[in-house]
C-alpha cells in the first residue's frame, strides 16, 4: 500500500508522518506545496516539493498521473494552496481531510463572530488603514479571509473522510451547508505525548506563576480583552508570556505595542519560532493559562499545560471546554475568572493535576495515536464506515 500526504510548510506534518510510519512503515510519501523552496517548518524530506505562484494558487499544481501511484491521499488541512489538488486525484482514490480548524470555521460562522468587541474594532481599524493584508493563507488562518469559496465547497464534496480537530465539530460542519455529498466522519489527532508534546519533560510540573496568554498572532486569541482584564487585576511581579511567532506579523506588532504599554518589562512576547523542547521550557514557567478564543484553537498548547499541571482558562462557548470536560479534565472558564479573579492565585491541587495528566496522557498516547491511525487508514482503504 502507498499513502500520500499533501501538506503545506507547517510543523505538524512531521508529527503526522511519524505516526503513519509507526503504523505503516515505509508506505508513506509527502507532497509539500509551498510558496518557497526554502521550507521553514518541515524537517522531513518530501517525496515531491511543488512551488506555487499566486496567480495559479487555486488550480491543481501536480499532474493526475502522480496521484495514480497511491492507494489513498491524506490532506493535512484544506489550505488554499492544496485543496485544488482534490480535482486532479482520480475519483476512485480515497481522499481524507484532516482538518485544522481554520480550514472549516468559515463554514460554521463569520470571522467577526469569533472576535470580542475590542479586538473586532482593532481589526476593523487595521483593515481601513490598509495595513492588514486579507489575502493569502497566513491570514486565512486568522479567519479574516475573503470567505469560503465555492471551489473549496465542491472539493469537500469529493472527499471520502473528514476528521476535525474535535469530534464534536463534525456535525457543525456537516450541517453548515446543503451538501450534495459530504465525507464520512473519522477521528484522528496530531502528535503524541511521548514523542512530540512533552518529550524530555516527562513527570515535570509547572515551575512558576507566570501567565500564558493565547497561542499565536491570531486575532481569534482576543488578546485585547485578555490584556484589559489582566491590567485591571494589578498583578505584581508576574510575567505575561505571549506566543506570537505564528500568524500575522502586523497584528503581532499591535499585540506587542499593547503588551509593552500595559505590562512593561513583565511582558514577554515569543516572536521567533522555537523548537518544541525550548518552547515547553519557556511556557513551563506558567502556572496559569488564558486561552480567550471563542472557537477551537490551541489544543496542543492546552494539552501540554494540562500535563504540566497549570490552571487553564478557556471560554465556556468554546467547544474545547466541552471536549476536555468529557475527558474528565479539571479546567476553568474565562467567564469564571472574570467573576473570581482570585483564581489566578489558586494553583490546582495535586489530585487535580494528576487527574489531568492521566487524562491527556491516555488520549494523546503513542499507543492510541497508532491505533487511531490504523482505524483511519482501514476506514479509507477498506471503505469501513
Contacts of 188 (CB under 8 A, 6+ apart): 98, 163, 372, 373, 376
157, 8: one domain = yes
Pick from 56, 54, 70: nearest CA to 6: 70
161, 51: one domain = yes
Do the Cβ atoms of 189 and 198 come closer than 8 Å?
no
The pLDDT score that the predictor gives to residue 144 is 37
304, 348: one domain = yes
Q: Is 143 a member of any domain? A: no
Number of compact structural domains in the chain: 2
370, 356: one domain = no
Tell me the HSE value of 37 on the side-chain side, using a 13 A CA sphere.
1
Which pLDDT band, with edges at 50, 70 and 90, does 149 fall under?
A: low
**Cell numbers given for 214:** 493565547
207, 316: one domain = yes
The pLDDT score that the predictor gives to residue 57 is 61
Burial class (CB in 10 A: 0-12, 13-18, 19+), 244: buried
Mean pLDDT score, 155-176:
96
87, 214: one domain = no
Domain containing 284 equals 194-363
In this prediction the pTM is 0.90
Pick from 270, 322, 312: nearest CA to 290: 312
Question: Above 90 in pLDDT, residue 113?
Answer: no
187, 198: one domain = no
CATH of the domain at 291: 3.40.50.2000
Pick from 258, 267, 213: nearest CA to 238: 267
175, 265: one domain = no
In whole angstroms, what is the distance from residue 87 CA to residue 59 CA? 9
Question: Above 80 in pLDDT, residue 132?
Answer: no
Q: Is 153 a member of any domain? A: yes
Which pLDDT band, with edges at 50, 70 and 90, does 40 fall under?
A: confident
- Beta bridge pairs of residue 96: 74, 161
Q: Is 174 a member of any domain? A: yes
238, 344: one domain = yes
- Average pLDDT for the chain: 91
Residue-wise pLDDT for 279-311, tens only, equals 999 999 999 999 999 999 999 999 999 999 999
Residue-wise pLDDT for 42-66, tens only, equals 999 899 888 776 555 678 999 999 9
Mean pLDDT score, 100-116:
86
Count the Cβ atoms, other than its own, within 10 Å of residue 111. Answer: 19
Amino acid at each position: 500500500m502507498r499513502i500520500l500526504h499533501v501538506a503545506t510548510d507547517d510543523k505538524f506534518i512531521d508529527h503526522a508522518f511519524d505516526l503513519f510510519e509507526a503504523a505503516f512503515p515505509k508506505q508513506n510519501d509527502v507532497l509539500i506545496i509551498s510558496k518557497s523552496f526554502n521550507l521553514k517548518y518541515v524537517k522531513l524530506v518530501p517525496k515531491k516539493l511543488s512551488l506555487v505562484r499566486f496567480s495559479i494558487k487555486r488550480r491543481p499544481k501536480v499532474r493526475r498521473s502522480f496521484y495514480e501511484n497511491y492507494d489513498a491521499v491524506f490532506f493535512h488541512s484544506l489550505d488554499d494552496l492544496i485543496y485544488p489538488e482534490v480535482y486532479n486525484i482520480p475519483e476512485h482514490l480515497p481522499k481524507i481531510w484532516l482538518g485544522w480548524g481554520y480550514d472549516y470555521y468559515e463554514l460554521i460562522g463569520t470571522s467577526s463572530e469569533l472576535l470580542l468587541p475590542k479586538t473586532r474594532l482593532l481589526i476593523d481599524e487595521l483593515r481601513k488603514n490598509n495595513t492588514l493584508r486579507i489575502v493569502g493563507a497566513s491570514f486565512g488562518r486568522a479567519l479574516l479571509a475573503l470567505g469560503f469559496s465555492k471551489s473549496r465547497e465542491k472539493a469537500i464534496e469529493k472527499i471520502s473522510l473528514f476528521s476535525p480537530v474535535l469530534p464534536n465539530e463534525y456535525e457543525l460542519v456537516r450541517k453548515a451547508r446543503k451538501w450534495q455529498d459530504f465525507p464520512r466522519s473519522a477521528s484522528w489527532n496530531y502528535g503524541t505525548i511521548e514523542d512530540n508534546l512533552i518529550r524530555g519533560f516527562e513527570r515535570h510540573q509547572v515551575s512558576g506563576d507566570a501567565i500564558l496568554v493565547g497561542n499565536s498572532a491570531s486575532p481569534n486569541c482576543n488578546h485585547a480583552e485578555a490584556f484589559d482584564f489582566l491590567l485591571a487585576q494589578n498583578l505584581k511581579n508576574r510575567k505575561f508570556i505571549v506566543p506570537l511567532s505564528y500568524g500575522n506579523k502586523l497584528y503581532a506588532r499591535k499585540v506587542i505595542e499593547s503588551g509593552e504599554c500595559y505590562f512593561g518589562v513583565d511582558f514577554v512576547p515569543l516572536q521567533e519560532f522555537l523548537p518544541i523542547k525550548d518552547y515547553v521550557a519557556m511556557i513551563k514557567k506558567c502556572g496559569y493559562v488564558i486561552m480567550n478564543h471563542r472557537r477551537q484553537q490551541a489544543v496542543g498548547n492546552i494539552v501540554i499545560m494540562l500535563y504540566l499541571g497549570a490552571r487553564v482558562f478557556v471560554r465556556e462557548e468554546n467547544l474545547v471546554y466541552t471536549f476536555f470536560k468529557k475527558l474528565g479534565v479539571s479546567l476553568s472558564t474565562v467567564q469564571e475568572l472574570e467573576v473570581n479573579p482570585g483564581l489566578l492565585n489558586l494553583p490546582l491541587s495535586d489530585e487535580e493535576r494528576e487527574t489531568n495528566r492521566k487524562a491527556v496522557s491516555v488520549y494523546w498516547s503513542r499507543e492510541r495515536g497508532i491505533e487511531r491511525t490504523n482505524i483511519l487508514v482501514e476506514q479509507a482503504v477498506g471503505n469501513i464506515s
